[in-house]
């Protein structure tokens, strides 16, 4: 197989491990902390998770463990969207298992959770693992978004575990996938199965974290990849001095990516969805904010700049959020009737009697090409596919109109030319940074130790991540402690709560201190490409957000 020079070099990279995991595995044991409680809805969740609720924190320490070298059969699942480093989680798990016992077997479930349901597997060999070390993507076994939620799906998953005599299943995924892992762990125990379930925290959006899960894997690489592209555009617009670049970035539920990329590149404007919601900013107020920066810079002769827009921004703008909620409800209630209406004008008429008058006015105020995006095919939950709404283009259009009015009022005399971009898939399968390569490998190895300790319903945890890797602290966190109940499909369901940008925490406050200067002056930073070889201060650094938080 032909490979690039970088790919060949990355195969040979040796990920760094926490000190406790880098020595003899016979010297690793588990120390337990206090029992845990869920974030909220504790009584209800205790009732749902009768066998797995309230487990203690687990930390790996030096000591003897008589089961550490037993032969294992483990299945691994890649679930949900891709994130850089997934292959290294599998490599860390594989290497740990083989270090414990060379006869251990690792099965890869093909195409996500459906592979477990349908018993579609591939045995992962040393040769196969070596082809994917330190590389991006999930193509070693493929991923999928199937949810294990029906009684039949749970029963089929248990049947697969029995047929393969699995000691454990490792689920590599985000908040929804690891909620599924928690439910699977509970189901197995409730039905007398000894198959353990361990999760690993994945999502480039950065919204699966807490004090014990400092970051989700892939976030570091994705932000560095996007920041390289943003930095390139900053350099380009500072050279041509004639374009405003409006850049939408991944992050539907939270603005962590936009905030981190802002720290790395210092754009003129970075919108933070959580702030928009907290201050109930209207779409017009957001446009005013952008236009204020454009006018201010124009006075200095700077008719160029960069604006960062989180993917999920529209869902945080009060009048748009209300419109989306009403659209979701109206279309879900009469799905077949709506499907028969294919013309946009007819769709508007269909909606006129089914959503409120204020929401209908908002719908009519949107440019027709943008408004139609609110009515596209729904996602698997029956909701608007927010990622397909071209918020960056909506803002460009509204800014153009507002600037024309301001020009007529002698409040603006500059020139405005805009280009729009969406950076999303470009970051999901990048070669993982050294940080993500090390972190993911450590998560996978930790998953092995959690299995050997006989634990189930845990999320692999590696902490103290701003320190060098040998100072990292490895262990596990009970999945139920991150849960609350949320309304899904008309009823309350247990869900791992997403971690949003906290407006009172140091990262956001640091951003607020700097953004007025960025809005007026040209302060761009140019981070360049991810570096894999060189001094640690260049190659091994975590995100700025993580440094500020810890």
Residue count of the chain: 550
Give the residue carrying structure tokens 């999945």: 479
Q: Which of 262, 160, 256 is nearest to 203 (CA)?
A: 256
Angle (nearest 5°) at CA 77 between 203 and 541: 35
Residues 6 or more apart whose CB falls under 8 angstroms from that of 493 comprise 485, 486, 487
Could you tell me whether strands 121-123 and 105-109 are parallel, antiparallel, or unpaired per DSSP bridges? antiparallel
Rg (CA), the chain: 25
Q: Which of 205, 207, 302, 438 is catalytic?
A: 205
Order across the sheet with 196-201: list the strands.
28-35, 56-62, 473-478, 458-463, 196-201, 168-173, 73-78, 105-109, 121-123
C-alpha–C-alpha distance, residues 486 and 496, integer Å:
9
Report DSSP letters for 94-144, one per residue.
Answer: HHHHHHH-TT-EEEEETTTHHHHHHT-EEE--HHHHHTTTT--SSTTT--B
149: exposed, middle or buried (C-beta count within 10 Å: 0-12, 13-18, 19+)? middle
Does 302 participate in catalysis according to the annotation?
A: no
Closest among 234, 373, 224 to 311, alpha carbons compared: 373
Half-sphere exposure of 198 (CA within 13 A, CB side): 29
Say how many Å lie between the first and final Cα of the chain, rounded.
43
Q: Catalytic residue numbers? A: 205
């Amino acid at each position: 197989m032909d490979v690039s020079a970088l790919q060949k070099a990355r195969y040979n990279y040796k990920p760094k491990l926490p000190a406790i995991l880098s020595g003899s595995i016979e010297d690793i044991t588990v120390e337990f902390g206090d029992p845990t409680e869920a974030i909220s809805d504790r009584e209800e969740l205790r009732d749902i998770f009768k066998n797995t609720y309230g487990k203690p924190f687990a930390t790996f320490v030096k000591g003897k463990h008589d089961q550490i070298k037993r032969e294992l059969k483990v299945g691994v699942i890649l679930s949900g969207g891709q994130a850089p480093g997934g292959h290294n989680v599998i490599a860390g798990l594989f290497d740990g298992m083989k270090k414990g016992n060379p006869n251990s077997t690792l099965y890869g479930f093909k195409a996500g959770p459906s592979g477990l349901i349908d018993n579609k597997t591939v045995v992962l060999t040393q040769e196969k693992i070596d082809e994917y070390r330190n590389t991006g993507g999930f193509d070693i076994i493929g991923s999928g978004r199937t949810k294990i939620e029906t009684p039949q799906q749970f029963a089929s998953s248990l049947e697969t575990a029995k047929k393969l005599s699995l000691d454990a299943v490792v689920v590599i995924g985000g908040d929804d996938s690891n909620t599924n892992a928690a439910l699977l762990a509970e189901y197995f125990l409730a039905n007398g199965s000894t198959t353990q379930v361990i999760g690993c925290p994945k999502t480039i959006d950065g919204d699966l974290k807490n004090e014990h899960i400092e970051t989700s894997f892939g976030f570091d690489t994705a932000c560095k990849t996007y920041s390289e592209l943003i930095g390139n555009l900053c350099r380009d617009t500072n050279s041509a001095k004639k374009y405003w670049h409006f850049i939408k970035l991944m992050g539907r539920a939270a603005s962590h990516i936009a905030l981190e990329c802002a720290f790395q590149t210092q754009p003129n404007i970075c919108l933070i969805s959580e702030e928009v919601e907290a201050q109930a900013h209207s779409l017009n107020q957001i446009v005013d904010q952008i236009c204020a920066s454009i006018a201010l810079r124009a006075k200095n002769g700077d008719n160029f700049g960069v604006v960062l827009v989180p993917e999920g921004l529209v869902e945080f703008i009060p009048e748009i959020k209300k419109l989306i909620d009403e659209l979701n409800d109206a279309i879900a209630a009469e799905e077949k009737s709506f499907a028969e209406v294919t013309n946009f004008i007819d769709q508007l008429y269909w909606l006129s009697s089914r959503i409120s008058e204020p929401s209908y006015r908002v719908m009519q105020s949107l440019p027709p090409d943008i408004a139609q995006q609110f009515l596209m095919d729904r996602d698997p939950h029956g909701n608007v596919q927010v990622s397909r709404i071209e918020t960056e283009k909506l803002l460009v259009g509204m800014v153009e109109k507002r600037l024309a009015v301001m020009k007529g009022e002698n409040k603006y005399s500059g020139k405005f030319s805009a280009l729009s971009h969406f950076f999303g898939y470009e970051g999901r399968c990048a070669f993982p940074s050294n940080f993500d390569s090390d972190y993911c490998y450590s998560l996978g190895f930790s998953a092995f130790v959690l299995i050997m300790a006989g634990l189930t319903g845990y999320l692999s945890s590696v902490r103290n991540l701003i320190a060098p890797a040998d100072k990292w602290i490895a262990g596990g966190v009970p999945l139920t402690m991150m849960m609350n109940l949320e309304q899904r499909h008309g009823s309350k369901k247990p869900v791992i709560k997403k971690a949003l940008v906290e407006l009172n925490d140091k990262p956001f406050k640091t951003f607020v201190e700097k953004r007025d200067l960025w809005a007026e002056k040209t302060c761009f930073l140019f981070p360049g490409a991810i570096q894999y070889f060189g001094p640690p201060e260049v190659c091994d650094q975590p995100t700025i957000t993580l440094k500020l938080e810890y």
